[in-house]
């Protein structure tokens, strides 16, 4: 775990459907600046976004007239899984560059704590630049229900999507703190308050 002088970095991660966005919003409301890697990806892949020319090189059918067709992209990755690695080689450096600008700006401002909200934090070794890693977790049944409802999928398909990710049990083992979201919202808020109190100390 890396220690920063002055500014500290809280890594926030968790699988799909675990409630990570809910916890990120709570941290932001408490005054911690949050770098949202998913939002950064959406910006990079927006119409005429900077990532589109490179994506078009990998999967020409997915980019037409400066617009990314995500359904075509998902289908292509599903049919040819090796394309995912190629896409990651395009997207990850762009996201890291945006993250580094975010960190540099807050270091200059003298911000005490910032949050890196990164779904693939462990998979990309992002935890090495964090002072504390927070994993958001919920029981498998609740996670699958959330993913199925959000994506309009049968439960079996939701579980297949979840199975492609790093197991929740492994993420929990790697965490400094685990926040449970398979509980009433006030209880999740209480856990976040406890974390913030500990970080301030």
pLDDT one-digit tens code per residue, 116-173 = 999 999 999 999 999 999 999 999 999 999 999 998 989 999 998 899 899 999 999 9
pLDDT at 3: 45
Q: What does the alpha-carbon distance between residue 27 and residue 195 come to, in Å, rounded to a whole number?
A: 10
6 φ/ψ angles, rounded to the nearest 5 degrees: 85, -80
Is 197 annotated as contributing to ligand binding? no
Is 17 annotated as contributing to ligand binding? yes
Percent of the chain residues past pLDDT 90, beyond the cut = 85
pTM of the entire structure?
Answer: 0.89
Whether 111 shows a pLDDT value over 70: the answer reads: yes
Q: In what helix (H) or strand (E) does residue 116 lie, and over which residues does it extend?
A: strand 113-117
Whether 174 shows a pLDDT value over 70: the answer reads: yes
What's the rounded mean pLDDT across residues 79-101? 91
Whether 189 shows a pLDDT value over 80: the answer reads: yes
Task: Tell me what the pLDDT averaged over the chain comes to.
Answer: 93
pLDDT at 153: 87
pLDDT at 5: 53
The SS3 assignment for 135 reads strand
Is 137 annotated as contributing to ligand binding? no
What are the structural domains of the chain?
A: 1-33+111-201 (3.40.50.300), 42-110 (no CATH)
Q: Copy the structure tokens of residue 9.
A: 């970095």
Is 19 annotated as contributing to ligand binding? yes
**Are residues 15 and 171 in contact, defined by beta-carbon separation less than 8 angstroms?**
yes
Helices (H), the chain: 20-29, 37-44, 52-58, 70-79, 82-109, 140-151, 155-163, 168-174, 185-200
């Amino acid at each position: 775990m890396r220690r920063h002088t002055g500014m500290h970095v809280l890594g926030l991660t968790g699988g799909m459907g675990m409630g990570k966005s809910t916890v990120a919003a709570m941290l932001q409301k408490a005054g911690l600046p949050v770098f949202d890697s998913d939002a950064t990806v959406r910006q990079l892949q927006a119409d005429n976004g900077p990532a589109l020319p490179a994506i078009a090189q990998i999967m020409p059918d997915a980019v037409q007239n400066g617009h990314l067709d995500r359904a075509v992209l998902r289908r292509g990755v599903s049919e040819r899984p090796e394309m995912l690695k190629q896409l990651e080689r395009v997207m990850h450096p762009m996201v890291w560059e945006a993250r580094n600008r975010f960190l540099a700006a807050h270091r200059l401002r003298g911000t005490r704590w910032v949050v890196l909200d990164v779904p693939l934090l462990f998979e990309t070794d992002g935890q090495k630049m964090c002072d504390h890693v927070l994993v958001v977790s919920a029981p498998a049944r609740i996670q699958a229900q959330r993913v199925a409802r959000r994506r309009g999928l049968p439960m079996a398909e939701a579980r297949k999507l979840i199975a492609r990710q790093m197991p929740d049990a492994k993420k929990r083992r790697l965490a400094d703190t685990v926040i449970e979201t398979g509980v009433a919202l006030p209880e999740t808020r209480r856990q976040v308050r406890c974390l913030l109190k500990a970080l301030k100390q």
